[in-house]
Structure 1
Amino acid sequence: MGKTKKLIELDNKAIEILEKQAKLQKRSLKNYLEFMIEDTALNFSEPSEEYKAMMDNMIDRMKKGTLKTTPLSEILKQYGRKL
């Protein structure tokens, strides 16, 4: 996939806040902004065909009553945790 450069303008306060967040993650401001923008874009994208097929399969198994699930309370109990 190709890359495109874009010029953006942010106010100084926003830059200051973002620089602090970047430092907390041990990233440069540029890397932090690229990461955040790409991560946000992925959240808007459509799920992959593999994921859709897996979910369709799970829904089908749920309708047929063959989907096996474990209650959250049992999982937490297994790890010594409480709700």
Structure 2
Amino acid sequence: MGKTKKLIELDDKAIEILEKQAKLQKRSLKNYIEYTLEDTAARFSEPSEAYKTMMDDMIKRDEEGSLKTTSVAEVLARYGRKL
């Protein structure tokens, strides 16, 4: 996948906030902004074909009554934890 350069303008307060967040993650401001934007864009993207296939299979198994599910409470109890 290629890369494209874009010039963006942010107010000083936004830059100050982003710089603090970047430092907390031990990133440069540029890297932090790029990472944050790419992560946000990925959330808007469509699920992969593998994920769609897996979900279609789970929906089919649920409709057939063959999908086995475990509640959060059961999983926590299995590991000696509580809600």
TM-score, normalised with respect to structure 1 = 0.97
Counterpart of 2:23? 23
Q: Note the C-alpha offset of 1:57.
A: 0.2
**In structure 1, how many angstroms separate the alpha carbons of the residues matched to 2:57 and 2:5?**
41
What is the number of equivalent residue pairs in this alignment? 83
**In structure 2, how many angstroms separate the alpha carbons of the residues matched to 1:14 and 1:81?**
41
Identity of aligned residues (%): 75
TM-score, normalised with respect to structure 2 = 0.97
Matches within 5 A, 1:1-83: 1-83=1-83
SS at match of 1:2: coil
TM superposition outliers: structure 1 runs of 4+ over 3 Å: none
Structure 2 segments unaligned to the other structure (5+ residues) = none
